[in-house]
Amino acid sequence: MNETSRKIVGAVLAGGEGKRLRPITFYFQKCMIPVGSNQKPLLEYIVHLLKKHGIFDLKMLVGYKHEQIENFFGEGDRFGINIDYFLDDPTLSGSGGALLNAAKQSAFEDADAMLVYYGDILSDIDLSKMLQQHFEANASVTLAVTKGYEVPIGVAKIEGTTVVDWVEKPKIDLYAGIGIVVLSPESLKALKETAIGRDAVDIMGDLVPHLITNGKRVEAYVTDAFWYDLGSTEKYEKLDNGLVDDLLKI
């Protein structure tokens, strides 16, 4: 099977209440908050990125204020893509629950991979290269990670009770996940197993450790692409709209 014949389905996690973005999210679904000088919805940038890399079949995993998303994007005709909506199942919450709920409704039927994108992330990541690495490695899951994550607080070095050094918002030399994940069909079966007897299941917190423990291939796609987590009011207020205009043209 060559790259062009693979069936890739995009799954956007767009159902959260966005509690860290309150009071903004009392009025907006968090992925519909306006960004950039033209004040377009965050989700429109995500849709554009997926389409740019040949992902035209999108599944919106929605919940809180889902009407805002559906009224704006419709079936995707205006954006040259196809969009289906799957309302979260309250009996199984979390990102994994949203994915399983959509899978039960045949959202990923015959898919060779699911590109899962967390709906509060802005990025210009090269999804094509990420998918290529996933297939070449025959991975169960491929995680987009980056180094140099900035800790949002100051950090002290202490000897005894004396502060001998202080670094304001240091960058840590670890690989941080950026909320973009490729899943193979087999990983959905593992996710279903992980969810047995539970009322919540998470992709990153539950599925990934489960796969690693069971000897499955979990691949890291290391990227230095721009990415920005808009999950809090503080981060939203500090977003440079000019940078969005320069890097994420739509």
pLDDT (tens, 9 = 90+) of the chain, 250 residues, equals: 345 589 999 999 999 888 888 998 899 999 999 998 899 999 999 999 999 999 999 999 999 999 999 999 999 999 999 999 999 988 998 999 999 999 999 999 999 999 999 999 999 999 999 999 999 999 999 999 998 777 778 888 898 889 888 888 877 778 888 999 999 999 999 999 999 989 999 999 999 999 999 999 999 999 999 999 998 998 899 888 888 888 887 7
pTM for this one? 0.88
Q: Domain tally for the chain?
A: 1
pLDDT for the residue 2: 42
Residue 155 inside a domain? The answer is: no
Domain with residue 140: its CATH number is 3.90.550.10
pLDDT for the residue 249: 79
Sign of CA dihedral 153, 159, 163, 165: negative
Residue 63 inside a domain? The answer is: yes
Q: Which residue has the tokens 């692409």?
A: 225
Residue 225 inside a domain? The answer is: yes
Give the domain extent around 19: 3-145+175-247
pLDDT for the residue 4: 53
Locate the DSSP E strands across 94-170: 113-118, 121-123, 141-150, 155-159, 162-167
pLDDT for the residue 219: 94
Residue 152 inside a domain? The answer is: no
Q: If 0-12 CB within 10 Å is exposed, 13-18 middle and 19+ buried, where does residue 170 land?
A: middle
Q: If we measure between CA atoms, which residue out of 100, 106, 65 comes closest to residue 84?
A: 106
